[in-house]
Amino acid sequence: MGQLIAKLMRIFGSQEHKVIIVGLDNAGKTTILYQFLTNEAVHTCSTIGSNVEEIVLQKTHFLMWDLGGQETLRSTWDTYYSNAEFVILVIDSTDRNRLLTTREELYKMLAHEALRDASVLIFANKQDVKDSMTTAEISQVLTLSAIKDHPWQIQGCCALTGEGLPAGLQWMKSQATTK
């Protein structure tokens, strides 16, 4: 019965894919979530706990959890991991000093059992800022090419204008259909 319902839901395209949005505080996670939802920049406050919204792209439903990124909140990320099919890692491309901290958080997540089958989309955000790091630089520091056990994609973007976000979502949609 459960299987039948799951099959029907897939046919009618209403299967929901759980997504967690992670990254250090100030990376632009909340701005990205609300840009997905409203197609405009909204004023954000520092996230304490989480925001959750449903985003629908051509019949594919994503339930997106935007998690607080401050150091004290990062230890709670793993409580959101179960059943997550996607991780969106948001990077502030102007924040050279903390890219190694992001790297540490990324590899900790990838090693987590609950995320074994998760696909990872990395948004190199704030590409509008002069002298921000390019996706190539970020890929190199994060040694993305060494990640063989998770599908991953890096995408430059600007959450304020939304540039680059649709391409990231399309990649997620293409991954969702292969799951």
- Could you identify the residue written with the tokens 């009618």? 12
> Helix, strand, or coil here: 62?
strand
Query: Which tokens in the block code for residue 136?
Result: 């190539």
Sole window of 98-106, 112-120, 158-166, 170-178 interacting with ligand G3D (rule: CB under 6 A): 158-166
Q: Could you give the C-alpha distances from 147 to 33, 139, 142, in angstroms and in order?
A: 26, 11, 10
Query: Which tokens in the block code for residue 85?
Result: 């099919």
50 binds ligand G3D (CB under 6 A): no
164 binds ligand G3D (CB under 6 A): no
**Which distant-in-sequence residues (6+ apart) come within 8 Å of 154 by Cβ?**
122, 123, 124, 135, 138, 139, 144
> Helix, strand, or coil here: 21?
strand
159 binds ligand G3D (CB under 6 A): yes
31 binds ligand G3D (CB under 6 A): yes
Known catalytic residues? 70
Cα–Cα distance measured from residue 136 to residue 54, given in angstroms and rounded to the nearest whole number? 31
Sole window of 3-11, 23-31, 110-118, 171-179 interacting with ligand G3D (rule: CB under 6 A): 23-31
47 is in an annotated binding site: yes
153 is in an annotated binding site: no
154 binds ligand G3D (CB under 6 A): no
- The site for Mg ion (CB under 5 A) is made up of 29-30, 47
Among 125, 135, 155, 175, binds ligand G3D (CB under 6 A): 125
Query: Which tokens in the block code for residue 130?
Result: 């002069």
126 is in an annotated binding site: yes
Where is the binding site for GTP, in residues?
23-30, 69, 125-128
Binding site for ligand G3D (CB under 6 A): 23, 25-31, 44, 46-47, 69, 90, 125-126, 128-129, 158-160
